Chains A and B, each alone.
Chain A
Protein backbone atom coordinates (compact mmCIF):
# COMPACT_ATOMS: atom_id res chain seq x y z
CA UNK A 1 0.00 0.00 0.00
CA UNK A 2 2.74 2.46 0.88
CA UNK A 3 4.15 1.60 -2.53
CA UNK A 4 1.06 2.98 -4.23
CA UNK A 5 0.70 6.05 -2.06
CA UNK A 6 4.33 7.08 -2.20
CA UNK A 7 4.42 6.14 -5.87
CA UNK A 8 1.65 8.64 -6.47
CA UNK A 9 3.43 11.29 -4.42
CA UNK A 10 6.65 10.72 -6.35
CA UNK A 11 4.90 10.84 -9.69
CA UNK A 12 3.11 14.07 -8.89
CA UNK A 13 6.38 15.54 -7.66
CA UNK A 14 7.78 14.83 -11.12
CA UNK A 15 4.74 16.39 -12.77
CA UNK A 16 5.16 19.55 -10.71
CA UNK A 17 8.84 19.74 -11.57
CA UNK A 18 8.34 19.31 -15.28
CA UNK A 19 5.01 20.85 -16.22
CA UNK A 20 6.41 24.37 -16.61
CA UNK A 21 9.16 23.14 -18.90
CA UNK A 22 6.73 21.06 -20.93
CA UNK A 23 4.38 24.02 -21.29
CA UNK A 24 7.04 26.43 -22.55
CA UNK A 25 8.33 23.89 -25.01
CA UNK A 26 4.91 22.72 -26.09
CA UNK A 27 3.67 26.16 -27.00
CA UNK A 28 6.63 28.12 -28.17
CA UNK A 29 9.22 25.41 -28.90
CA UNK A 30 11.47 27.21 -26.45
CA UNK A 31 13.58 24.77 -24.48
CA UNK A 32 13.83 26.81 -21.30
CA UNK A 33 16.97 25.44 -19.71
CA UNK A 34 16.72 28.08 -17.01
CA UNK A 35 13.78 26.13 -15.61
CA UNK A 36 15.66 24.68 -12.63
CA UNK A 37 17.11 28.07 -11.79
CA UNK A 38 13.65 29.66 -11.79
CA UNK A 39 12.49 26.89 -9.47
CA UNK A 40 15.22 27.64 -6.94
CA UNK A 41 14.84 31.40 -7.43
CA UNK A 42 11.17 31.21 -6.45
CA UNK A 43 11.95 29.14 -3.37
CA UNK A 44 14.78 31.40 -2.30
CA UNK A 45 12.77 34.59 -2.83
CA UNK A 46 9.97 33.17 -0.73
CA UNK A 47 12.47 32.37 1.97
CA UNK A 48 13.97 35.87 1.80
CA UNK A 49 10.57 37.56 2.03
CA UNK A 50 9.46 35.27 4.81
CA UNK A 51 12.53 35.34 7.05
CA UNK A 52 14.53 38.39 6.07
CA UNK A 53 11.73 40.87 5.31
CA UNK A 54 9.32 39.22 7.76
CA UNK A 55 6.30 39.21 5.51
CA UNK A 56 3.46 36.73 6.04
CA UNK A 57 4.03 33.38 4.36
CA UNK A 58 1.22 33.70 1.80
CA UNK A 59 2.34 37.19 0.76
CA UNK A 60 5.94 36.02 0.37
CA UNK A 61 4.79 33.25 -1.92
CA UNK A 62 2.69 35.56 -4.08
CA UNK A 63 5.48 38.13 -4.36
CA UNK A 64 7.99 35.43 -5.26
CA UNK A 65 5.67 34.03 -7.93
CA UNK A 66 5.12 37.48 -9.43
CA UNK A 67 8.84 38.16 -9.57
CA UNK A 68 9.58 34.79 -11.14
CA UNK A 69 6.84 35.43 -13.71
CA UNK A 70 8.46 38.78 -14.55
CA UNK A 71 11.84 37.11 -14.85
CA UNK A 72 10.23 34.70 -17.30
CA UNK A 73 8.91 37.59 -19.37
CA UNK A 74 12.28 39.31 -19.31
CA UNK A 75 14.03 36.09 -20.24
CA UNK A 76 11.94 35.78 -23.36
CA UNK A 77 11.70 39.44 -24.32
CA UNK A 78 15.36 40.36 -23.92
CA UNK A 79 17.20 37.15 -24.60
CA UNK A 80 15.38 34.26 -26.16
CA UNK A 81 13.52 36.36 -28.72
CA UNK A 82 16.85 37.19 -30.35
CA UNK A 83 17.84 33.58 -30.91
CA UNK A 84 14.48 32.12 -31.90
CA UNK A 85 14.71 29.27 -34.35
CA UNK A 86 18.28 28.33 -33.47
CA UNK A 87 17.76 25.45 -31.06
CA UNK A 88 21.37 25.15 -29.91
CA UNK A 89 21.62 28.87 -29.28
CA UNK A 90 18.31 28.81 -27.42
CA UNK A 91 19.54 26.02 -25.20
CA UNK A 92 22.90 27.61 -24.49
CA UNK A 93 21.42 31.06 -23.89
CA UNK A 94 18.78 29.83 -21.46
CA UNK A 95 21.20 27.45 -19.79
CA UNK A 96 23.62 30.35 -19.39
CA UNK A 97 20.94 32.51 -17.80
CA UNK A 98 20.05 29.64 -15.45
CA UNK A 99 23.69 29.10 -14.58
CA UNK A 100 24.12 32.80 -13.86
CA UNK A 101 21.03 32.89 -11.62
CA UNK A 102 21.97 29.77 -9.67
CA UNK A 103 25.60 30.65 -9.16
CA UNK A 104 24.71 34.22 -8.26
CA UNK A 105 22.33 32.93 -5.59
CA UNK A 106 25.06 30.64 -4.32
CA UNK A 107 27.48 33.53 -4.16
CA UNK A 108 24.99 35.81 -2.43
CA UNK A 109 24.50 33.40 0.43
CA UNK A 110 22.41 30.44 -0.68
CA UNK A 111 24.65 27.72 0.68
CA UNK A 112 24.57 25.35 3.58
CA UNK A 113 21.45 23.83 5.02
CA UNK A 114 19.85 26.81 6.74
CA UNK A 115 17.41 27.70 4.00
CA UNK A 116 14.12 25.97 4.58
CA UNK A 117 10.50 26.77 4.02
CA UNK A 118 8.02 25.66 6.66
CA UNK A 119 5.30 23.23 5.60
CA UNK A 120 1.87 24.83 5.12
CA UNK A 121 0.38 22.56 7.76
CA UNK A 122 2.58 20.28 9.77
CA UNK A 123 1.43 16.94 11.02
CA UNK A 124 0.83 13.45 9.76
CA UNK A 125 -2.21 11.38 8.95
CA UNK A 126 -2.46 7.68 8.38
CA UNK A 127 -4.02 6.53 5.14
CA UNK A 128 -4.46 2.76 4.97
CA UNK A 129 -1.99 2.62 7.85
CA UNK A 130 0.63 4.48 5.86
CA UNK A 131 1.73 7.66 7.60
CA UNK A 132 1.64 10.60 5.23
CA UNK A 133 2.42 14.18 6.21
CA UNK A 134 0.06 16.96 5.21
CA UNK A 135 2.64 18.62 2.98
CA UNK A 136 2.75 15.54 0.76
CA UNK A 137 -1.04 15.57 0.57
CA UNK A 138 -0.76 19.20 -0.52
CA UNK A 139 1.70 18.05 -3.18
CA UNK A 140 -0.89 15.65 -4.55
CA UNK A 141 -3.64 18.24 -4.62
CA UNK A 142 -1.29 20.94 -5.86
CA UNK A 143 -0.29 18.77 -8.79
CA UNK A 144 -3.89 17.95 -9.65
CA UNK A 145 -4.81 21.63 -9.21
CA UNK A 146 -2.14 22.77 -11.64
CA UNK A 147 -3.26 20.23 -14.22
CA UNK A 148 -6.90 21.31 -13.85
CA UNK A 149 -5.90 24.94 -14.11
CA UNK A 150 -3.90 24.26 -17.23
CA UNK A 151 -6.79 22.37 -18.77
CA UNK A 152 -9.30 25.10 -17.94
CA UNK A 153 -6.93 27.82 -19.07
CA UNK A 154 -6.34 26.27 -22.47
CA UNK A 155 -9.99 25.36 -22.95
CA UNK A 156 -11.92 28.39 -21.74
CA UNK A 157 -9.77 31.51 -21.90
CA UNK A 158 -8.89 33.38 -25.03
CA UNK A 159 -5.20 33.59 -24.21
CA UNK A 160 -5.13 29.91 -23.44
CA UNK A 161 -6.84 29.07 -26.70
CA UNK A 162 -4.39 31.23 -28.61
CA UNK A 163 -1.52 29.35 -26.97
CA UNK A 164 -3.04 26.11 -28.06
CA UNK A 165 -3.51 27.42 -31.57
CA UNK A 166 0.11 28.46 -31.86
CA UNK A 167 1.23 25.12 -30.55
CA UNK A 168 -0.89 23.23 -33.05
CA UNK A 169 -0.22 25.27 -36.14
CA UNK A 170 1.84 28.38 -35.92
CA UNK A 171 1.10 29.64 -39.43
CA UNK A 172 -2.63 29.25 -39.12
CA UNK A 173 -2.41 31.04 -35.81
CA UNK A 174 -0.53 33.91 -37.40
CA UNK A 175 -3.13 34.16 -40.14
CA UNK A 176 -5.83 34.46 -37.52
CA UNK A 177 -4.01 37.37 -35.95
CA UNK A 178 -2.38 35.69 -32.99
CA UNK A 179 0.89 37.29 -32.04
CA UNK A 180 3.34 34.39 -31.83
CA UNK A 181 5.85 36.32 -29.76
CA UNK A 182 3.19 37.39 -27.31
CA UNK A 183 1.99 33.81 -26.99
CA UNK A 184 5.53 32.62 -26.43
CA UNK A 185 6.10 35.30 -23.79
CA UNK A 186 2.98 34.17 -21.98
CA UNK A 187 4.04 30.54 -22.24
CA UNK A 188 7.55 31.10 -20.94
CA UNK A 189 6.38 33.30 -18.11
CA UNK A 190 3.56 30.92 -17.21
CA UNK A 191 6.09 28.10 -17.27
CA UNK A 192 8.26 30.12 -14.89
CA UNK A 193 5.30 30.67 -12.55
CA UNK A 194 4.58 26.95 -12.62
CA UNK A 195 8.20 26.30 -11.69
CA UNK A 196 7.67 28.73 -8.81
CA UNK A 197 4.47 27.04 -7.68
CA UNK A 198 6.24 23.70 -7.77
CA UNK A 199 9.04 25.19 -5.69
CA UNK A 200 6.81 26.54 -2.93
CA UNK A 201 4.89 23.28 -2.77
CA UNK A 202 7.88 20.95 -2.92
CA UNK A 203 10.59 22.84 -1.07
CA UNK A 204 8.94 22.63 2.37
CA UNK A 205 9.67 18.92 2.09
CA UNK A 206 13.36 19.61 1.92
CA UNK A 207 15.74 22.51 1.91
CA UNK A 208 16.67 25.03 -0.71
CA UNK A 209 20.00 24.11 -2.24
CA UNK A 210 21.51 25.18 -5.54
CA UNK A 211 22.19 21.59 -6.61
CA UNK A 212 18.47 20.94 -6.68
CA UNK A 213 18.12 23.46 -9.48
CA UNK A 214 20.22 21.26 -11.74
CA UNK A 215 18.39 18.16 -10.62
CA UNK A 216 14.98 19.70 -11.36
CA UNK A 217 16.21 20.63 -14.83
CA UNK A 218 17.39 17.09 -15.55
CA UNK A 219 14.10 15.62 -14.34
CA UNK A 220 12.06 18.16 -16.28
CA UNK A 221 13.92 17.32 -19.47
CA UNK A 222 13.71 13.62 -18.76
CA UNK A 223 9.98 13.63 -18.16
CA UNK A 224 9.21 15.91 -21.09
CA UNK A 225 11.33 13.92 -23.50
CA UNK A 226 9.98 10.64 -22.29
CA UNK A 227 6.41 11.81 -22.58
CA UNK A 228 6.95 13.36 -25.97
CA UNK A 229 8.24 16.89 -26.22
CA UNK A 230 5.46 19.40 -25.90
CA UNK A 231 2.75 16.98 -24.92
CA UNK A 232 1.28 17.62 -21.47
CA UNK A 233 -0.57 14.34 -21.39
CA UNK A 234 2.64 12.56 -22.26
CA UNK A 235 4.48 14.38 -19.51
CA UNK A 236 1.87 13.28 -16.98
CA UNK A 237 2.02 9.68 -18.15
CA UNK A 238 5.82 9.71 -18.17
CA UNK A 239 5.84 11.15 -14.65
CA UNK A 240 3.77 8.24 -13.46
CA UNK A 241 5.91 5.73 -15.33
CA UNK A 242 9.17 7.10 -13.93
CA UNK A 243 7.72 7.89 -10.51
CA UNK A 244 6.40 4.38 -9.97
CA UNK A 245 9.45 2.73 -11.47
CA UNK A 246 11.56 4.66 -9.01
CA UNK A 247 9.42 3.81 -6.03
CA UNK A 248 9.43 0.14 -6.97
CA UNK A 249 13.19 0.19 -7.48
CA UNK A 250 13.65 1.82 -4.09
CA UNK A 251 11.50 -0.80 -2.39
CA UNK A 252 12.63 -3.95 -4.14
CA UNK A 253 16.13 -3.30 -5.42
CA UNK A 254 17.93 -0.55 -3.53
CA UNK A 255 17.43 3.19 -3.21
CA UNK A 256 20.71 4.04 -4.82
CA UNK A 257 19.52 2.58 -8.10
CA UNK A 258 16.59 4.99 -8.33
CA UNK A 259 18.28 7.55 -10.55
CA UNK A 260 19.90 4.84 -12.65
CA UNK A 261 16.44 3.38 -13.17
CA UNK A 262 14.99 6.70 -14.32
CA UNK A 263 17.77 7.18 -16.85
CA UNK A 264 17.43 3.61 -18.03
CA UNK A 265 13.72 4.09 -18.72
CA UNK A 266 14.40 7.23 -20.69
CA UNK A 267 17.00 5.52 -22.83
CA UNK A 268 14.68 2.60 -23.51
CA UNK A 269 11.71 4.81 -24.32
CA UNK A 270 13.75 6.98 -26.63
CA UNK A 271 15.23 4.06 -28.50
CA UNK A 272 11.92 2.38 -29.13
CA UNK A 273 9.62 5.35 -29.37
CA UNK A 274 11.77 8.35 -30.14
CA UNK A 275 9.00 10.90 -30.20
CA UNK A 276 8.03 9.90 -26.69
CA UNK A 277 4.95 8.18 -25.39
CA UNK A 278 2.62 10.87 -26.68
CA UNK A 279 4.83 12.67 -29.16
CA UNK A 280 2.96 14.68 -31.70
CA UNK A 281 5.84 14.87 -34.12
CA UNK A 282 5.55 12.56 -37.03
CA UNK A 283 7.77 9.55 -36.70
CA UNK A 284 9.45 10.38 -39.98
CA UNK A 285 10.79 13.65 -38.70
CA UNK A 286 13.18 12.11 -36.27
CA UNK A 287 13.64 8.66 -37.71
CA UNK A 288 14.28 7.71 -41.29
Chain B
Protein backbone atom coordinates (compact mmCIF):
# COMPACT_ATOMS: atom_id res chain seq x y z
CA UNK B 1 0.00 0.00 0.00
CA UNK B 2 1.48 3.33 -0.96
CA UNK B 3 1.96 5.81 1.81
CA UNK B 4 0.08 9.03 1.39
CA UNK B 5 0.20 12.39 2.98
CA UNK B 6 -1.99 15.41 2.73
CA UNK B 7 -0.58 18.41 0.97
CA UNK B 8 -1.96 21.90 1.25
CA UNK B 9 -1.64 24.46 -1.46
CA UNK B 10 -2.82 28.03 -1.64
CA UNK B 11 -5.74 28.55 -3.95
CA UNK B 12 -4.92 30.45 -7.11
CA UNK B 13 -7.27 33.27 -6.32
CA UNK B 14 -5.61 33.71 -2.94
CA UNK B 15 -2.18 34.00 -4.49
CA UNK B 16 -3.38 36.48 -7.08
CA UNK B 17 -5.23 38.66 -4.62
CA UNK B 18 -2.29 38.82 -2.25
CA UNK B 19 -0.69 41.63 -4.18
CA UNK B 20 -1.65 44.70 -6.15
CA UNK B 21 -3.17 42.46 -8.83
CA UNK B 22 -6.13 42.08 -6.51
CA UNK B 23 -7.45 45.22 -8.16
CA UNK B 24 -7.33 43.63 -11.58
CA UNK B 25 -10.64 41.86 -11.49
CA UNK B 26 -13.96 41.82 -9.72
CA UNK B 27 -13.46 38.20 -8.75
CA UNK B 28 -10.32 38.90 -6.73
CA UNK B 29 -11.83 41.93 -5.06
CA UNK B 30 -14.87 39.90 -4.09
CA UNK B 31 -12.64 37.14 -2.80
CA UNK B 32 -10.94 39.61 -0.50
CA UNK B 33 -14.07 41.42 0.63
CA UNK B 34 -16.33 38.38 0.68
CA UNK B 35 -15.96 37.21 4.28
CA UNK B 36 -16.41 40.72 5.67
CA UNK B 37 -19.45 41.39 3.49
CA UNK B 38 -21.01 38.08 4.44
CA UNK B 39 -20.55 38.91 8.13
CA UNK B 40 -22.07 42.37 7.77
CA UNK B 41 -24.97 41.11 5.68
CA UNK B 42 -25.63 38.27 8.07
CA UNK B 43 -25.69 40.57 11.07
CA UNK B 44 -28.00 43.02 9.33
CA UNK B 45 -30.41 40.51 7.86
CA UNK B 46 -30.60 37.91 10.61
CA UNK B 47 -32.77 40.02 12.97
CA UNK B 48 -35.37 40.28 10.23
CA UNK B 49 -35.82 36.55 9.81
CA UNK B 50 -35.56 35.08 13.30
CA UNK B 51 -38.40 34.83 15.83
CA UNK B 52 -38.89 37.59 18.43
CA UNK B 53 -37.35 35.40 21.10
CA UNK B 54 -34.21 34.76 19.10
CA UNK B 55 -33.98 38.51 18.55
CA UNK B 56 -33.56 38.77 22.32
CA UNK B 57 -30.95 36.05 22.23
CA UNK B 58 -29.14 38.00 19.52
CA UNK B 59 -29.14 41.12 21.68
CA UNK B 60 -27.57 39.19 24.57
CA UNK B 61 -25.14 37.59 22.14
CA UNK B 62 -24.14 41.10 21.11
CA UNK B 63 -23.25 41.90 24.72
CA UNK B 64 -21.03 38.84 25.00
CA UNK B 65 -19.57 39.45 21.55
CA UNK B 66 -18.47 42.94 22.55
CA UNK B 67 -16.89 41.57 25.72
CA UNK B 68 -15.14 38.86 23.73
CA UNK B 69 -13.72 41.35 21.24
CA UNK B 70 -12.63 43.52 24.14
CA UNK B 71 -10.85 40.55 25.70
CA UNK B 72 -9.33 39.48 22.40
CA UNK B 73 -8.06 42.96 21.61
CA UNK B 74 -6.32 43.32 24.95
CA UNK B 75 -4.94 39.78 25.01
CA UNK B 76 -3.85 39.40 21.40
CA UNK B 77 -2.68 42.87 20.56
CA UNK B 78 -1.50 44.36 23.83
CA UNK B 79 -0.58 41.25 25.79
CA UNK B 80 -2.79 41.94 28.79
CA UNK B 81 -4.98 38.95 29.65
CA UNK B 82 -7.87 40.66 31.39
CA UNK B 83 -10.50 38.59 33.15
CA UNK B 84 -12.24 41.74 34.28
CA UNK B 85 -15.10 41.62 31.79
CA UNK B 86 -17.61 41.44 34.62
CA UNK B 87 -16.04 44.50 36.21
CA UNK B 88 -16.54 46.60 33.09
CA UNK B 89 -20.11 45.37 32.71
CA UNK B 90 -20.88 46.11 36.34
CA UNK B 91 -19.37 49.59 36.34
CA UNK B 92 -21.04 50.54 33.06
CA UNK B 93 -24.37 49.07 34.10
CA UNK B 94 -24.46 50.67 37.52
CA UNK B 95 -23.37 54.08 36.23
CA UNK B 96 -25.99 54.13 33.53
CA UNK B 97 -28.60 52.77 35.92
CA UNK B 98 -27.85 55.35 38.59
CA UNK B 99 -27.89 58.18 36.06
CA UNK B 100 -31.13 56.93 34.61
CA UNK B 101 -32.72 56.53 38.02
CA UNK B 102 -31.73 60.16 38.68
CA UNK B 103 -33.66 61.23 35.58
CA UNK B 104 -31.10 61.23 32.77
CA UNK B 105 -32.68 59.70 29.65
CA UNK B 106 -30.99 56.56 28.36
CA UNK B 107 -29.86 58.22 25.14
CA UNK B 108 -27.51 60.27 27.33
CA UNK B 109 -26.90 57.88 30.21
CA UNK B 110 -25.48 55.13 28.01
CA UNK B 111 -22.74 57.21 26.37
CA UNK B 112 -21.91 58.96 29.63
CA UNK B 113 -21.72 55.64 31.45
CA UNK B 114 -19.58 54.19 28.67
CA UNK B 115 -16.97 56.94 28.76
CA UNK B 116 -17.05 57.73 32.46
CA UNK B 117 -17.11 54.02 33.27
CA UNK B 118 -14.09 53.40 31.06
CA UNK B 119 -12.23 56.22 32.82
CA UNK B 120 -13.10 54.74 36.21
CA UNK B 121 -12.11 51.21 35.20
CA UNK B 122 -8.83 52.44 33.74
CA UNK B 123 -8.00 54.46 36.85
CA UNK B 124 -8.77 51.52 39.12
CA UNK B 125 -6.70 49.15 37.00
CA UNK B 126 -3.83 51.64 36.79
CA UNK B 127 -1.89 50.25 39.78
CA UNK B 128 -1.99 46.77 38.24
CA UNK B 129 -0.79 47.76 34.78
CA UNK B 130 2.86 46.88 35.44
CA UNK B 131 1.76 43.28 35.97
CA UNK B 132 1.77 40.81 33.15
CA UNK B 133 0.37 37.44 32.16
CA UNK B 134 -1.35 35.34 34.73
CA UNK B 135 -0.83 37.95 37.45
CA UNK B 136 -2.80 40.59 35.62
CA UNK B 137 -5.40 37.96 34.74
CA UNK B 138 -5.97 36.96 38.35
CA UNK B 139 -6.07 40.44 39.77
CA UNK B 140 -8.53 41.59 37.12
CA UNK B 141 -10.59 38.49 37.89
CA UNK B 142 -10.78 39.51 41.54
CA UNK B 143 -11.94 43.08 40.88
CA UNK B 144 -15.55 42.20 39.94
CA UNK B 145 -15.83 39.71 42.82
CA UNK B 146 -14.68 42.46 45.13
CA UNK B 147 -17.08 45.04 43.73
CA UNK B 148 -20.04 42.66 43.91
CA UNK B 149 -19.33 41.68 47.50
CA UNK B 150 -18.79 45.30 48.44
CA UNK B 151 -22.21 46.29 47.15
CA UNK B 152 -23.77 43.37 49.03
CA UNK B 153 -21.93 44.24 52.22
CA UNK B 154 -22.59 47.97 52.22
CA UNK B 155 -26.09 47.84 50.77
CA UNK B 156 -25.39 50.87 48.56
CA UNK B 157 -26.98 51.18 45.11
CA UNK B 158 -29.95 49.04 46.06
CA UNK B 159 -27.83 46.33 47.67
CA UNK B 160 -28.89 42.80 46.80
CA UNK B 161 -32.28 44.00 45.49
CA UNK B 162 -30.71 46.05 42.71
CA UNK B 163 -32.50 48.96 41.06
CA UNK B 164 -35.51 47.89 38.98
CA UNK B 165 -37.81 49.92 36.78
CA UNK B 166 -35.21 51.77 34.70
CA UNK B 167 -35.97 52.99 31.19
CA UNK B 168 -35.89 50.29 28.56
CA UNK B 169 -35.18 50.57 24.86
CA UNK B 170 -38.32 51.72 23.01
CA UNK B 171 -38.37 48.51 20.96
CA UNK B 172 -36.32 45.41 20.34
CA UNK B 173 -35.42 46.73 16.87
CA UNK B 174 -33.72 49.77 18.34
CA UNK B 175 -31.88 47.59 20.84
CA UNK B 176 -30.83 45.01 18.30
CA UNK B 177 -29.62 47.33 15.57
CA UNK B 178 -27.88 49.50 18.12
CA UNK B 179 -25.88 46.46 19.26
CA UNK B 180 -25.13 45.44 15.68
CA UNK B 181 -23.99 48.88 14.58
CA UNK B 182 -21.79 49.35 17.61
CA UNK B 183 -20.36 45.90 17.01
CA UNK B 184 -19.56 46.68 13.37
CA UNK B 185 -18.10 50.08 14.20
CA UNK B 186 -15.91 48.57 16.90
CA UNK B 187 -14.74 45.81 14.59
CA UNK B 188 -13.92 48.19 11.75
CA UNK B 189 -12.31 50.80 13.99
CA UNK B 190 -10.24 48.33 15.94
CA UNK B 191 -9.00 46.35 12.99
CA UNK B 192 -7.98 49.59 11.26
CA UNK B 193 -6.23 50.72 14.38
CA UNK B 194 -4.28 47.57 15.11
CA UNK B 195 -3.46 46.80 11.49
CA UNK B 196 -2.87 50.14 9.80
CA UNK B 197 -2.24 52.84 12.40
CA UNK B 198 1.04 53.54 14.13
CA UNK B 199 -0.51 53.02 17.52
CA UNK B 200 -1.34 49.44 16.54
CA UNK B 201 2.32 48.83 15.94
CA UNK B 202 3.17 50.26 19.34
CA UNK B 203 0.54 48.04 20.98
CA UNK B 204 2.14 44.98 19.47
CA UNK B 205 5.44 46.22 20.76
CA UNK B 206 3.94 46.46 24.23
CA UNK B 207 2.96 42.84 23.88
CA UNK B 208 6.09 41.42 22.31
CA UNK B 209 8.96 43.58 23.41
CA UNK B 210 8.51 46.13 26.13
CA UNK B 211 12.19 47.03 26.10
CA UNK B 212 11.91 48.12 22.49
CA UNK B 213 9.10 50.48 23.44
CA UNK B 214 11.14 51.94 26.24
CA UNK B 215 14.19 52.24 24.02
CA UNK B 216 12.09 54.24 21.56
CA UNK B 217 11.41 56.76 24.32
CA UNK B 218 7.72 55.93 24.31
CA UNK B 219 5.80 55.91 27.57
CA UNK B 220 4.86 52.28 28.12
CA UNK B 221 2.22 52.87 30.77
CA UNK B 222 0.55 55.55 28.71
CA UNK B 223 0.00 53.08 25.86
CA UNK B 224 -1.30 50.44 28.22
CA UNK B 225 -3.69 53.01 29.65
CA UNK B 226 -4.97 53.79 26.17
CA UNK B 227 -5.48 50.12 25.40
CA UNK B 228 -7.25 49.41 28.68
CA UNK B 229 -9.45 52.46 28.13
CA UNK B 230 -10.53 51.25 24.71
CA UNK B 231 -11.15 47.74 25.91
CA UNK B 232 -13.03 48.74 29.05
CA UNK B 233 -15.17 51.22 27.09
CA UNK B 234 -16.48 48.27 25.08
CA UNK B 235 -17.26 46.47 28.33
CA UNK B 236 -18.91 49.43 30.01
CA UNK B 237 -21.03 50.00 26.93
CA UNK B 238 -22.07 46.33 27.05
CA UNK B 239 -23.03 46.78 30.70
CA UNK B 240 -25.02 49.96 30.16
CA UNK B 241 -26.71 48.36 27.18
CA UNK B 242 -27.65 45.25 29.17
CA UNK B 243 -29.00 47.39 32.00
CA UNK B 244 -31.41 49.11 29.66
CA UNK B 245 -32.27 45.99 27.72
CA UNK B 246 -34.09 44.74 30.81
CA UNK B 247 -34.45 47.99 32.73
CA UNK B 248 -32.59 46.85 35.81
CA UNK B 249 -29.20 46.93 37.48
CA UNK B 250 -28.07 44.59 40.20
CA UNK B 251 -25.17 42.77 41.77
CA UNK B 252 -25.27 40.02 39.19
CA UNK B 253 -23.85 42.46 36.63
CA UNK B 254 -20.58 41.52 38.30
CA UNK B 255 -21.21 37.79 37.67
CA UNK B 256 -18.12 35.83 36.66
CA UNK B 257 -19.88 34.54 33.53
CA UNK B 258 -19.05 37.89 31.96
CA UNK B 259 -15.37 37.28 32.68
CA UNK B 260 -15.21 33.62 31.70
CA UNK B 261 -17.27 33.49 28.53
CA UNK B 262 -15.00 35.85 26.54
CA UNK B 263 -12.06 33.56 27.30
CA UNK B 264 -14.01 30.52 26.22
CA UNK B 265 -15.15 32.34 23.09
CA UNK B 266 -11.55 33.19 22.24
CA UNK B 267 -10.44 29.61 22.72
CA UNK B 268 -13.28 28.24 20.62
CA UNK B 269 -13.15 30.88 17.92
CA UNK B 270 -9.40 31.06 17.69
CA UNK B 271 -7.00 33.62 19.04
CA UNK B 272 -4.75 35.99 17.14
CA UNK B 273 -7.43 38.14 15.52
CA UNK B 274 -10.45 40.17 16.53
CA UNK B 275 -12.77 37.92 14.55
CA UNK B 276 -11.99 34.71 16.42
CA UNK B 277 -13.49 35.86 19.74
CA UNK B 278 -16.46 37.32 17.86
CA UNK B 279 -17.10 34.03 16.11
CA UNK B 280 -16.72 32.15 19.38
CA UNK B 281 -19.30 34.32 21.12
CA UNK B 282 -21.68 34.03 18.17
CA UNK B 283 -21.49 30.25 18.52
CA UNK B 284 -21.33 29.73 22.28
CA UNK B 285 -24.17 31.97 23.46
CA UNK B 286 -26.85 30.63 21.11
CA UNK B 287 -25.57 27.08 21.69
CA UNK B 288 -26.00 27.48 25.43
CA UNK B 289 -29.40 29.03 24.91
CA UNK B 290 -30.69 26.31 22.64
CA UNK B 291 -29.78 23.64 25.16
CA UNK B 292 -32.01 25.19 27.80
CA UNK B 293 -34.56 22.42 27.51
CA UNK B 294 -32.16 20.09 29.28
CA UNK B 295 -32.61 21.99 32.51
CA UNK B 296 -29.65 21.75 34.81
CA UNK B 297 -27.97 19.17 32.59
CA UNK B 298 -27.44 21.89 29.99
CA UNK B 299 -24.36 23.23 31.73
CA UNK B 300 -22.81 19.76 31.65
CA UNK B 301 -23.23 19.51 27.88
CA UNK B 302 -21.96 23.04 27.51
CA UNK B 303 -18.87 22.28 29.57
CA UNK B 304 -18.17 19.05 27.71
CA UNK B 305 -18.52 20.87 24.39
CA UNK B 306 -16.09 23.48 25.61
CA UNK B 307 -13.48 20.95 26.74
CA UNK B 308 -13.90 19.12 23.46
CA UNK B 309 -13.18 22.29 21.46
CA UNK B 310 -10.23 23.25 23.60
CA UNK B 311 -8.58 19.87 23.66
CA UNK B 312 -9.28 18.39 20.28
CA UNK B 313 -9.66 21.41 18.07
CA UNK B 314 -6.96 23.67 19.33
CA UNK B 315 -6.63 25.86 16.26
CA UNK B 316 -10.10 27.35 16.72
CA UNK B 317 -12.91 27.68 14.27
CA UNK B 318 -11.68 30.82 12.58
CA UNK B 319 -8.31 29.38 11.62
CA UNK B 320 -10.00 26.25 10.40
CA UNK B 321 -12.35 28.23 8.18
CA UNK B 322 -9.56 30.46 7.02
CA UNK B 323 -7.48 27.49 5.97
CA UNK B 324 -10.37 26.05 4.01
CA UNK B 325 -10.97 29.41 2.39
CA UNK B 326 -7.42 30.04 1.34
CA UNK B 327 -6.04 26.60 0.64
CA UNK B 328 -7.01 23.31 -0.82
CA UNK B 329 -5.77 19.91 0.21
CA UNK B 330 -5.01 16.80 -1.70
CA UNK B 331 -3.30 13.48 -1.10
CA UNK B 332 0.17 12.93 -2.47
CA UNK B 333 2.26 9.82 -2.56
CA UNK B 334 5.40 9.98 -0.47
Q: Do A and B touch (CB < 8 Å)? A: yes
Interface hits, A63-89 → B, CB 8 Å: 79, 82-83, 86-89
Q: When the two chains form their complex, are residues A89 and B146 in contact, meaning their CB atoms are under 8 A apart? A: no
Contact (Cβ within 8 A) A218 B145: yes
Within 8 A of A (CB), among B120-172: 127-128, 130-135, 138-139, 142-143, 145-146, 149-150, 152-153
| Cβ-based interface call for A100 (8 A) | yes
Chain A residue with the shortest CB-CB distance to B131: A274
Distance, CA A97 to CA B311, complexed state (A) = 11
In Å, the complex CA distance between A254 and B150 comes to: 13
* Residue of A86, A99, A257 with highest tally of chain B CB at under 10 A: A99
Whole-angstrom distance from the CB of B111 to the nearest CB of chain A?
30
Contact B314–A97 (Cβ < 8 Å): no
Q: Are B135 and A286 neighbours in the complex by a CB distance under 8 Å?
A: yes
| Residue numbers in B under 8 Å from A91 (CB-CB) | 263
Annotate A256-288 by CB proximity to B: 1 below 8 A, 0 otherwise: 110110011011001100110000000001111
Residue B304 CB within 8 A of the other chain: yes
Q: Are B135 and A104 in contact (CB under 8 A)?
A: no
Shortest Cβ distance from residue A107 to the other chain B in the assembled complex, whole angstroms: 5
Instruction: Judge whether A92 is part of the interface by a CB distance below 8 angstroms.
Output: yes
Knowing A82-B311, A97-B303 are in contact, say whether A107-B142 is a contact too (CB < 8 A): no
- Chain B residue nearest to A106 in the complex (CB): B296
Check if A229 is an interface residue, CB within 8 A of chain B. yes
Q: How large is the interface on A (under 10, 10 to 19, 20 to 34, 35 or more residues)?
A: 35 or more
Give the distance in Å from the alpha carbon of A200 to the alpha carbon of B306 in the complex.
Answer: 30
Once the chains are docked, how many angstroms separate the CA of A83 from the CA of B271? 15
Interface residues of B (CB under 8 A from A): 75, 81, 127-128, 130-135, 138-139, 142-143, 145-146, 149-150, 152-153, 210-211, 214, 220, 260, 263-264, 266-267, 271, 295-297, 299-300, 302-304, 306-307, 310-312, 314
Query: Can you identify 12 A-B contacts, CB atoms within 8 angstroms?
Result: A82-B311, A89-B311, A92-B263, A93-B311, A99-B300, A100-B299, A107-B297, A260-B146, A260-B153, A263-B145, A263-B149, A267-B146
